[in-house]
Structure 1
Amino acid sequence: MRVLFVENDMRLCEAFRDLAISLGHVADVAYDGHQALLLAREHCYDTIFLDIGLPDVDGRELCRQLRAAGASKLACVVAVTGDERHVREQSEHFDGAFLKPLTEEGFKAALGAC
């Protein structure tokens, strides 16, 4: 499975990537919305883990843009946030939502839900 992690905290993003790789997946990272859009247009991701609070774009808007066009428009998009309200009030744009930090069990559950 090919996954993309979009998270502006570089250490957290790289930890997500390393977890996915350790479980046998191909994983890429993006630290902002612009980079995420470029990668998602170039590669066909099965699942995209998306931080809602990015510095350059709201995660809900980025989700809408990801679904509008490109190679990854059919990807399962999972919101990952530090704000519990976003998990409870999941936008119609996302296929799921998880609270940070995303554990190995949470990661596996997110992949299984997609």
Structure 2
Amino acid sequence: MFMLVLGSIEITNSIYLKQALTSVAYEGARLASGASGTKSDAESFCTQLLTARQIQGASVSCTQITPATTRGTLITVTVTAPAEQNSFGLTRYFRNRDLTAAATMPRL
């Protein structure tokens, strides 16, 4: 019974982490796909959101965007975080695993 409770806590935490990464990727893609959006702005904004959500060890990558990037070009923001570094450490289910989320939007 005790292991079931610990496992449930870890699973719930990983679901929260995956949802948070998805939300951060979406917000970054939304910013980057704007007419004046830049790669550095999107990555910086995502990093701020990750810090606010207390997600440790995450990395952010974004499609290269320049002023010449045409409208309709797909912009992808990918956010990755290690599950172990963001877990309570109660179980070993998520050791050496990364959770990744990506969002893609067309350039406006």
TM-score (norm 2): 0.28
Which of 1 and 2 has higher RCO (CA within 8 Å, sep 6+)?
2
Whichever of the two has the greater Rg, that structure is 2
TM-score (norm 1): 0.27
